[in-house]
Structure 1
Amino acid sequence: MAKYVLMNKDTEVMVVEQDDKTYKFIAILELINIAYAPFVIKNAIASFPEKTLDKINQWFRYRIIPNSRENKYELLKNIDVESSEELANKHFALSLSDQYWLKPIHSSITWKNINYFTNDYDSHEFFDANFGNNAYITLTKKVIATLSSLETPNNTTGGQLKKAWIKINGENYLYKASAHFIILIRSMK
């Protein structure tokens, strides 16, 4: 079992325990700053405390690549990961959608050191696994190989369409595609 502190940037929200095999949260060990919790969790604690653990698992499920994603299993195979839950856990369950993350219980790492809003990340391997070999090179015309390929906000991209976050000239972009169209969306800071 793994123990994490659910964080809101550098504010500790709660200590939770997660099953190492299923990645389901199995216990809330300590409530710290509930005012900083994701809304679904904060609401459960206030209104339905017996449902809080379920709501923590729901919050986590919304962070992962869903089963309905067009090429989910091919993508996971290409990056040598068995499940979306495992992928989300590869780099603190960080996202470019919010400021929540899972900090290992005795870690001294900070939001400033790891967040994707201000830190670089490498989407090359993930992008190619999603859109085909050399797709990243074709899109960006360069390869950035300084970071681990699983230290990326792509580990937590929900939704049904194929997508990948990329950073070009310091700006975050979400590359999204379906059978009929391709969209490049710039992230707001």
Structure 2
Amino acid sequence: MDTSEYLSMGDAARLLGVTKARISQLAASGTLACDIVGGRKMVEYNSAVAYQKVRKRGRRPAADVGRKFTLMSADHEVAHVSFDPSREYPFEIAEVLDAQRMPFGTCSSSSPTVNKRELNVWWSHRSVPDVRPGLVSRYRELGIASGIEVPVQCLGLSLSDCYWLRPAECDGLKWRNLNYFENDFERSAPEGRSGWLEGIGLKNPDNTSEGELPKSWMIRNAVRVLVKGCGMDDQRPFNEAVATALHRRLLSEGEFVPYTVGRMFDGPVCLCDDFLDGREEYVPAVYVKGALGSQRGNSTYDRYCRFLGKHGADEAAVRRSMSQMIVCDALLANSDRHWRNFGIIRNVDTLEIRPAPLFDSGNCLWYNVPTAVLAAGEFGFSAKPFGPDPSVQLALADSLDWFDSSRLNGFVDEAIEILSQSEWATAEGRLESICRGLERRVIEVNAAVEVLRHVRR
């Protein structure tokens, strides 16, 4: 491949006199042709020049006309929308029908005014990111010009919420006949698949699964199961099993999502059941954070808990759930508790909200730290989402009646037994170092919790 035939996103932006964000939009809509070159998304030079000529003639490049839909939440009509991938904001709201059921953070319940940018950011997370291994090739194989089109073609159906698009000319379509919570989908049987991307472009919830790691939805014994692989390492599926072992010791059923480890597509995977039913949606905390506004509080943590309490959640339950997340992440040295992998669950009928169970803890236990660093006894990590100092974040935990340090007896041995199945974790003495680091975390967190309890008496 001749790399001189490609432009970086920044160079393409300078050539066309637009922002890098606009280049990303043009690439997503298929207006600019792109390839992955050396692990980076690059714009084909000839495509950029052709677009430049069209702009100079004062004409817009060929684009899909605005298609009309009703944005639905299960059976509820939420808004009339149009979709045009050539626009800066592909989704436009024609009319809000139910402000309370708009995607969280995109519209005030007291006003029909929609934040256009936030709405399109929300929709963009229904697309599989281009960095997912093999995705661009899969699109070419299926003749799909742009990834942003895929969720639209599949009506936006997901197993993470109840939103979907009902075409304007199809008023007879019903949620009960379409949703993946109750209805089968294509390539849902593990034995019928040979690769991660076989569900892409078909009637399958994989089309709306975000995240960089390979993942796929399956149906096992009538239960919807998310299967997630790993990257260059094979430790993270086993990390999820370690996290589950910890959560079982400290938390109650329903407060966490249990994971198991299996093998699929010639590698280890972790599996978990969907924690939603067909009348619930998962709302990532990032949308709550964006809505905090002038909410008062001593910290972002405090403001988050107060805001949810003010908007119908049990604030004590929120603080308990958040404290559990902070303490368990501190024990596991979780370095990736970003604002999208914790949040709330909202009932689409009653609009009642509650904390989501603890899930997605695989990026922990120093999986990406060089072996030499671990061998030297360096077990530091950057805490999220309120960090980066783990001790400062741990001090935010203000609901600790659930924590019983005696239940951690034997946990390190259990964790090491699980990790002994990972080739990455057992290479070059890593496992011994992880054991020492985990022992240190247990001692330090136990001591910190005792101090916090004493201070708050």
TM-score relative to the length of structure 1: 0.78
Alignment of 1:116 with 2:116, yes or no, is no
- Given the alignment, which residue of 77, 90, 108 partners 1:25? 90
Could you tell me which residue of structure 2 aligns to residue 76 of structure 1? Answer: 139
**CA displacement 1:46-97 (0-9 Å, x = unmatched):** 6894x62212211110111113323321332344423321111122101000
1:1-189 aligned within 5 A = 1-19=66-84, 24-43=89-108, 49=113, 52-107=115-170, 108-123=172-187, 128-130=194-196, 150-179=202-231, 180=234, 181=237, 182-188=269-275, 189=277
Go from structure 1 to structure 2 and tell me whether the alpha carbon gap of 1:94 and 1:54 turns closer, same or farther (over 3 Å shift). same
Greater share of residues in helix: 2
Go from structure 1 to structure 2 and tell me whether the alpha carbon gap of 1:3 and 1:32 turns closer, same or farther (over 3 Å shift). same
Greater share of residues in strand: 1
Go from structure 1 to structure 2 and tell me whether the alpha carbon gap of 1:93 and 1:23 turns closer, same or farther (over 3 Å shift). farther
SS for the counterpart of 2:95 is: strand
Q: Please say if residues 166 and 173 of structure 1, whose CA atoms lie closer than 8 Å, have aligned partners that are also in contact.
A: yes
Q: Please say if residues 177 and 183 of structure 2, whose CA atoms lie closer than 8 Å, have aligned partners that are also in contact.
A: yes
Superposition CA RMSD, Å:
3.0
Partner Cα distance (1:131, 1:32) in 2? 36
How many Å apart are 1:105 and its aligned residue?
A: 1.4
Unaligned runs of at least 5 residues, structure 2 = 1-65, 238-268, 278-457
Paired residue total: 173
How many Å apart are 1:99 and its aligned residue?
A: 0.5
Unaligned runs of at least 5 residues, structure 1 = 137-148
Higher RCO structure, 1 or 2 (CA under 8 Å, sep 6+): 1
Q: Please say if residues 4 and 102 of structure 1, whose CA atoms lie closer than 8 Å, have aligned partners that are also in contact.
A: yes
SS for the counterpart of 2:106 is: helix
Go from structure 1 to structure 2 and tell me whether the alpha carbon gap of 1:167 and 1:23 turns closer, same or farther (over 3 Å shift). farther
TM-score relative to the length of structure 2: 0.34
